[in-house]
Chains A and B, each alone.
Chain A
Amino acid sequence: MNESPDIMAVLRARVSAIEGPTPTGAALFALGGAMLDAQLGGGLPKGRLHELFAGEEDDRAAMAGAALMLALQAAGGRAGAGPVLWLRQDGGVRSAGALYGPGLVELGFDPARLIEVVAPDEAALLRAAGDAVRCPQLGALLVEPWKAARGLDLTASRRLAVAAEKSGVTVLILRAGAKPGPSAAYSRWRVRSLGSAPLEAGAPGHPAIEMELLRHRGGLEGLHAWLEWNRDEHVFRHLFREAPLSGAGLPLPAGGPAGAGDPGGSATDRLSA
């Protein structure tokens, strides 16, 4: 029994060797929501894979919106000139619609920074993703396979993750039609649309989404956030209309004090810490 701590240490070392360098080495990008960033210890690491799942098939648009917002933050916000490459598939464009420039402007995203690649099938999509992830000039890479995308398995995602770490390109994988399976992603989110805060005369308000952290390498699973996107400031505002404050009860990560990653957005934060 004396040996067990040693064995554990050896195993840990071996696992960490397989997993590659620890994420603390990577630069973080803040998501833009003060509380969420604090809970995440400053944000999500760049140069990693992050997966987004849709709550239901119809939440695809909300998920795509969330991906755009995250890509915007990862690519260096408004000032950053890093272009964003969005890889899509024919089926996805047919069923979810084509990207619309004026609508991207309305989310605060300059369409001139976007390069849209539409692959005819999944194999071409993955191959293009493998090429694109090696291009360090990209600010972010969005990969949106159509349907289940069985080709994007643990091996394929691991390959992408290794290349992303090397080049520093943040990869967001949009998996609307898929069930969460094994993958090498650093974090995995589920996105749902959320009823917006109505404006006067019952008009739909600013884009609102619910984000749930399903998996996180840092062990922060279960984080829950109700967010409203502020296009002008490029920040999220936390919404607390649907009482469950499960996220608030979570312990803050040991890495930094609360509010360490606060991008000066506390004025827009409804919650007084």
Chain B
Amino acid sequence: MRLAAVNRAALALGLAPGLSLADARAREPMLGIADDDAGADARLLERIADGCDRYTPMVALDPPDGLILDISGCAHLFGGEAALQDDLVGRLGRLGMTVRSALADTPDAAHALARYDKSFQPSPEGEALMHLPVEALELDGEETTALRRAGLKRLADLEARPSQVLAARFGEAAGDKLRRIAGGRDVRITARRPQPALMLERRFAEPIGRTEAALAAIGELAAQAARRMEKAHQGGRRFEAQLFRTDGLVRALRIETGLPVRDVAVVMRLFDERLAALSDPVDPGFGFDLVRLSVPAFEALAPLQLPLEGGAVAEGELAQLLDRLSTRLGRNRVRRLAPQDSHIPEQAAFAFPAIEPAPPGQWPEAEAGEPPLRPTHIFDPPQLIDVLAGVPDGPPQRFRWRRELHEVTLAEGPERIGALWWRRADNAGLSRDYYRVEDRKGRRFWLFRLGLYGREAKAPAWYIHGLFA
């Protein structure tokens, strides 16, 4: 085992990443260690990125340990670029983090400055870049060594030479990276979230300590949003409220509706439902100092026409009910059924969230005069039962299900349903023989035998797959 990372105190003792744990312990028996957990690191980075949403909506991850913020057009809100940088470093510093930050014209330049600028002296950006070591190009170890052997130690040395020569000797990547760092070639960052169609926020001079108060502020933002959307004849199907805590933690509440809405009362009611349904309640900590409401996308929604004779519009009540239930219970618990083109019974229908538009499809017609051939309730997966039946393909005579013995009086079958053999390399798969049976007490069941006796299975197992009314 080796050290993956060390803190400042360990560095002062002469320990460094890459040292084996045994050696490190030999040097410093009291060394405190923790397992390296890349997943936890990534989650922490995500959380910090969430917190940095307060500065700009354009935040990109720079794994494993960096963040890139595009602060174009945002800096004035914090009193300038330097003030924004100070605020960010100070905020993270209060959480016990060591931050190296840099401001630059392009993301790659900022990346290089933050990581390889050893001087820590404030200097004009261009000059600082020229003083960076060639390691800042982040080329392969071999190429970096080759550059150093050639006497090219700083970016300034490379910049002075024609780029063709550089590309011929050290590859296209070196020249490209150099232009991105020092040549002002601007590569856009990909923000973690797509830009919402509408985003409103409110900052508080003093943090507010109650979630209800924060939600009330969200309500005011929702009213603003509703006015803006009404003017544009637009509505939203998804809304997101973000509550920024002073200590950098962000809680997001998301709601979704089946039809576009903009009515404040409807939106806020769903947020209340969402808040009440959270498994871990929102903890205000030392208070929220920023709340934000965003609408990811607009959808057309005509202005509402109230009926002349007075009274409310009743049409949307079902949609509102489904929205409310979906928000409270989860979208997968409120569902509709849709047909699917498959002869495998359990795949012939599927459930989809009721707030989503219905997928196309036609239910098969029932054949007139026939009794129901498919059960109303189905077990997924089918349940194993003990069956007494004639071999090779006689109908069941009696079976035991849930410790109860059922005497079969009427039976119809088999309805043979083949497996999806064409999906398999060996063209195999067990056929199922389905029987509709009725027991002495009049209960109707749907049973099947898995595998054909003697051909596909030695002693085929029986399953119960559904119940008829």
Residues of A within 8 A of B (CB): 56, 58-62, 64-66, 68-69, 83, 96-108, 110-112, 114-120, 124, 127-128, 131-132, 135-138, 192-196, 198-199, 201-209, 229, 231-232
Known: A110-B363, A114-B337. A98 touches B443 (CB 8 A): no
A211 to chain B, nearest CB (A): 13
Residues of B within 8 A of A83 (CB): 318
The answer to whether B442 touches A135, judged by C-beta atoms less than 8 angstroms apart, is no
Interface size class of B (residues with CB under 8 A): 35 or more
The answer to whether A103 touches B329, judged by C-beta atoms less than 8 angstroms apart, is no
Bound together, the chains give a CA A194 to CA B440 distance in angstroms of: 9
Task: Find residues 400-437 in chain B having any chain A CB closer than 8 Å to their own CB.
Answer: 404, 409-412, 436-437
The answer to whether A101 touches B409, judged by C-beta atoms less than 8 angstroms apart, is no
Bound together, the chains give a CA A93 to CA B437 distance in angstroms of: 22
The answer to whether A132 touches B364, judged by C-beta atoms less than 8 angstroms apart, is no
The answer to whether B437 touches A204, judged by C-beta atoms less than 8 angstroms apart, is yes
The answer to whether B365 touches A61, judged by C-beta atoms less than 8 angstroms apart, is no
The answer to whether A119 touches B317, judged by C-beta atoms less than 8 angstroms apart, is no
A201 to chain B, nearest CB (A): 7
B155 at the interface (CB under 8 A from A): no
B74 at the interface (CB under 8 A from A): no
B374 to chain A, nearest CB (A): 4
Bound together, the chains give a CA A232 to CA B317 distance in angstroms of: 32
Bound together, the chains give a CA A199 to CA B51 distance in angstroms of: 70
Bound together, the chains give a CA A110 to CA B412 distance in angstroms of: 25
The answer to whether A101 touches B349, judged by C-beta atoms less than 8 angstroms apart, is yes
The answer to whether B366 touches A105, judged by C-beta atoms less than 8 angstroms apart, is yes
B44 at the interface (CB under 8 A from A): no
Pairs of residues from A and B, 9 with the lowest C-beta to C-beta distance, nearest first: A65-B469, A97-B377, A106-B372, A101-B349, A203-B412, A61-B467, A193-B442, A100-B378, A101-B337
Residue on B nearest A62 in the bound complex, by CB: B469
Residues of A within 8 A of B363 (CB): 101-102, 105, 110-112
Partner of A103, one of B376, B379, B409, B412: B376
Bound together, the chains give a CA A203 to CA B408 distance in angstroms of: 11
Partner of A203, one of B317, B348, B436: B436
Known: A58-B441, A101-B339, A195-B438. A136 touches B317 (CB 8 A): yes
Bound together, the chains give a CA A105 to CA B361 distance in angstroms of: 14
Residues of A within 8 A of B177 (CB): none
Partner of B442, one of A104, A138, A192: A192
A150 to chain B, nearest CB (A): 21
Residues of A within 8 A of B345 (CB): 102
Residues of B within 8 A of A (CB): 314-315, 317-318, 321-322, 324-325, 328-329, 333-339, 345, 348-349, 351, 354, 358, 363-366, 368-369, 371-380, 404, 409-412, 436-438, 440-444, 466-469
Bound together, the chains give a CA A120 to CA B279 distance in angstroms of: 13
Residues of A within 8 A of B314 (CB): 136-137
Q: Which of A58, A103, A127, A206 counts the most B-chain CB atoms under 10 A from its CB?
A: A103
List 19 A–B pairs whose Cβ atoms lie within 8 Å, in order of A's numbering. A58-B404, A58-B441, A61-B444, A62-B469, A64-B376, A65-B376, A68-B469, A99-B377, A105-B364, A105-B366, A108-B366, A112-B363, A117-B334, A128-B329, A204-B410, A204-B468, A207-B468, A208-B442, A231-B366
Residues of A within 8 A of B329 (CB): 117-120, 124, 128
B338 to chain A, nearest CB (A): 8
Contacts between the two chains (Cβ within 8 Å), count: 199
The answer to whether B377 touches A196, judged by C-beta atoms less than 8 angstroms apart, is no
A85 to chain B, nearest CB (A): 8
Known: A117-B329, A196-B444, A204-B444. A100 touches B374 (CB 8 A): yes
Residues of A within 8 A of B376 (CB): 61, 64-65, 68, 99-100, 103-104, 106-107
Residue on A nearest B277 in the bound complex, by CB: A124
Residues of B within 8 A of A209 (CB): 469
Q: Which of A97, A117, A118, A206 counts the most B-chain CB atoms under 10 A from its CB?
A: A97
Residues of A within 8 A of B468 (CB): 61, 65, 103, 204, 207
The answer to whether B322 touches A115, judged by C-beta atoms less than 8 angstroms apart, is yes
Residues of A within 8 A of B349 (CB): 100-102, 111
Further 18 A-B residue pairs, CB within 8 A, beyond A65-B376, A103-B466, A207-B371: A66-B469, A98-B351, A100-B377, A101-B363, A105-B365, A106-B366, A107-B469, A111-B349, A115-B336, A115-B354, A117-B334, A131-B324, A135-B321, A136-B317, A193-B444, A194-B442, A196-B444, A199-B371
A223 to chain B, nearest CB (A): 20
Residues of A within 8 A of B372 (CB): 103, 106-107, 206-207, 231
Known: A68-B376, A103-B376. A135 touches B317 (CB 8 A): yes
Residues of A within 8 A of B409 (CB): 195
The answer to whether B444 touches A116, judged by C-beta atoms less than 8 angstroms apart, is no
Bound together, the chains give a CA A253 to CA B404 distance in angstroms of: 42
B233 to chain A, nearest CB (A): 25
Bound together, the chains give a CA A113 to CA B170 distance in angstroms of: 68
Residue on A nearest B376 in the bound complex, by CB: A103
The answer to whether B325 touches A117, judged by C-beta atoms less than 8 angstroms apart, is yes
The answer to whether B334 touches A115, judged by C-beta atoms less than 8 angstroms apart, is yes
The answer to whether B410 touches A203, judged by C-beta atoms less than 8 angstroms apart, is yes
The answer to whether B369 touches A232, judged by C-beta atoms less than 8 angstroms apart, is yes
Residues of B within 8 A of A58 (CB): 404, 441, 443
Residues of B within 8 A of A195 (CB): 409-410, 438, 440-442
Known: A103-B468, A112-B336, A195-B438. A202 touches B377 (CB 8 A): no
Bound together, the chains give a CA A203 to CA B372 distance in angstroms of: 11
Residue on B nearest A60 in the bound complex, by CB: B467
B122 to chain A, nearest CB (A): 58
Residues of A within 8 A of B334 (CB): 115-117
Q: Which of B317, B351, B438 counts the most A-chain CB atoms under 10 A from its CB?
A: B438
Residues of B within 8 A of A120 (CB): 329, 333
Partner of B371, one of A64, A105, A205: A205
A260 to chain B, nearest CB (A): 28
The answer to whether B467 touches A97, judged by C-beta atoms less than 8 angstroms apart, is yes
Q: Which of B376, B411, B468 counts the most A-chain CB atoms under 10 A from its CB?
A: B376
Residues of A within 8 A of B315 (CB): 137
Residue on A nearest B333 in the bound complex, by CB: A118
Bound together, the chains give a CA A64 to CA B339 distance in angstroms of: 21
